[in-house]
Structure 1
Amino acid sequence: MRQQPIASPHNAHSTASEVAREIDLSGKTAIVTGGYSGLGLETTRALIATGATVIVPARDVSKAEDALHGLTGVEIVSMDLMDRRSVETFAASFLQRDLALPILINSAGVMASPLFRDGNGHEGQFATNHLGHFRLVKGLWPALAKAEGARVISVSSRGHQIAGVDFDDIDFHVRPYDRWIAYGQSKTANILFSVELDRRGADDGIRAFSLHPGQILTNLARHLSDEDIAGFDALDEHGNPIVDPDKGMKSPEQGAATSVWAATTPLLNDKGGLYLEDCNIAPLYSGDAARKGVAPYAIDPDLAARLWDLSERL
């Protein structure tokens, strides 16, 4: 079974800075979408500490400048994942620099939002979380191949266990819109994308991974009500986020650890197409209450190929 945990020196308690401590990325370039907020910001900080130059695409450049103020080794470039032309412009501009891209971390996302659509009418969570990153990877392919050993990391979620991809009605034109079903579908798409990307990219040295970062209250939860958050039992009696990594509840620094591990650890050399959590390869989800692992439908190679073909048409 490919989804088999390995002996990793890190675990659910590890932080991104701890994972990065022994890594030297001097002279290398990384791109982190969503790299100025929440888990993405912690990922950016950890990669900068390794000596890498981190490029952060930002829909809101001024917000990114405020969040990243004082950090050296970071570049902010305008890009909107919901806008096809914006993504194409960003990718083309990067390729003009003739840089290799050994690390691309797709960390930006939206969760459980009211229904919105992109300019082509695609449901917004699927368009943002999957299609935008799909376009970005396709546009940056030459730079990824140039690295001769690139890794593309897609931040998924345990939320993928909510729903698979409904290929008959991805955009909720027929079925009633459900914000959690839409989120689950988009997170399953992240995993399926990594499976097929790894298959297609391996000959070019491009390996792909997806992951669950943990349950962390960040700006990603901006569409959740107080009642929603209370239902997750994520806050203590003082209203502060509970940090209990053994139960999957992490700080942002711990939540970013698996992204940094996925992007840098030599333990994943010659591997790919895997779903990770807690700085390790995750097992298959068995339906237990702990919800650890990846649902089999999310790593189905036939569904992954089908999603890729559909994404190209979309």
Structure 2
Amino acid sequence: MQVFEMDLGDQNSVKKFAQEYLKSGRGLDILINNAAIMACPETRVGPGWEAQFATNHLGHFTLSNELWPVLVDGGARVVSLTSTGHKISGIHFEDPQFTSGYDKWQAYGQAKTANSLFAVELDKRGADHGVRAFAVHPGGIMTGLQRHLTDEEMIASGWMDAEGTVREGFKTSEQGAATSVWAATSPILDGKGGVYCEDCDIALPTDPESPLARYAGVDAHAIDPESAARLWELSAELTGVNAVPDEGRETA
């Protein structure tokens, strides 16, 4: 086993990691873009980027592009971890860095929508090369992701009671990993891609009339192909990275 250091919030660190991996001569059959931060205080990284968008999306965007040569060689599957946080917000295309006012949950929602849209566009670009991409909602899991939240916030959100007991419906880490593993390996998904998955299945569209609408299904804005293409171009402009060819899209 080899371990390389990488800071997803630092584009130079991401590129260094990718270069070291490519030099290692290893193949790559599965890439799971799992790491994230959530609802953090306003933080700026790199050239002033909002940290959740920069870490959760742009870091993985650059990593996947830089690793494109081995993804193609392996006919890889790329799993992009999103969440029901995508239901909070679409992409703030006019101000993705929240320069005119920061809201930690809007920023998190934008980043999770970006994770889903990234899978849509990567799959569109990669399918003819044998590379398929999937967005995965792992479920609610109590991990270090909540490090920026107080107990009072989590109680108010209904995630746990006043005694600290986590509400029914949250998953263990093993249960939370299940859909990522399924998306990365299941033959059921052969020939498919660009879909949003939850509970080891392709998710249904959100039913706005359902009492579970906030927690189940995928909102249309998170799988919209036009938004996915627009986000890709924005991400390429910001990072200066765009290794995955766009051979299937017609140009005017």
Fold shared, TM-score > 0.5 on shorter chain: yes
- What is the CA-CA distance between 1:138 and the residue it aligns to? 0.4
Alignment of 1:80 onto 2:2? no
Residue 42 of structure 1 corresponds to none
Instruction: Output the amino acid matched with 2:234.
Output: L
Partners of 2:36 and 2:162 lie apart in 1 by 29
Partners of 1:237 and 1:164 lie apart in 2 by 32
Residue 164 of structure 1 corresponds to 90
Q: Is the 8 A contact 1:112 1:182 kept in 2?
A: yes
* Residue from 270, 281, 290 that aligns with 2:212: 290
Partners of 1:233 and 1:216 lie apart in 2 by 13
Q: Secondary structure at the match of 2:155?
A: helix
Residue 185 of structure 1 corresponds to 110
Measured against aligned partners, the alpha-carbon deviations of 1:166-186 in whole angstroms (never above 9, x if no partner) come to 100000112x21100000000
Q: Is the 8 A contact 2:155 2:161 kept in 1?
A: no
Instruction: Output the amino acid matched with 1:191.
Output: S
Where do 1:1-314 residues align within 5 Å? 74-148=1-75, 150-174=76-100, 176-236=101-161, 238-244=163-169, 249-287=170-208, 288-291=210-213, 292-314=216-238
Partners of 1:100 and 1:202 lie apart in 2 by 18
Partners of 1:84 and 1:237 lie apart in 2 by 40
Partners of 1:238 and 1:221 lie apart in 2 by 17
Partners of 2:185 and 2:2 lie apart in 1 by 20
Q: Secondary structure at the match of 2:4?
A: strand
Q: Which runs of 4+ in 1 moved over 6 A?
A: none
Residue 8 of structure 1 corresponds to none
Instruction: Output the amino acid matched with 1:267.
Output: I
Q: Is the 8 A contact 1:100 1:145 kept in 2?
A: no
Per mean C-alpha deviation after superposition, the further-off stretch among 116-125 and 93-102 is 93-102
- What is the CA-CA distance between 1:97 and the residue it aligns to? 2.2
Q: Is the 8 A contact 1:83 1:118 kept in 2?
A: yes
Q: Secondary structure at the match of 1:152?
A: strand
Instruction: Report how many aligned residue pairs link the two structures.
Output: 235
Unaligned 5+ runs, structure 1: 1-73
- What is the CA-CA distance between 1:236 and the residue it aligns to? 4.9
TM-score normalised to structure 2 length: 0.90
Q: In percent, how many aligned pairs have the same letter?
A: 53
Partners of 1:307 and 1:263 lie apart in 2 by 24
Partners of 1:270 and 1:100 lie apart in 2 by 21
Q: Is the 8 A contact 2:40 2:148 kept in 1?
A: yes
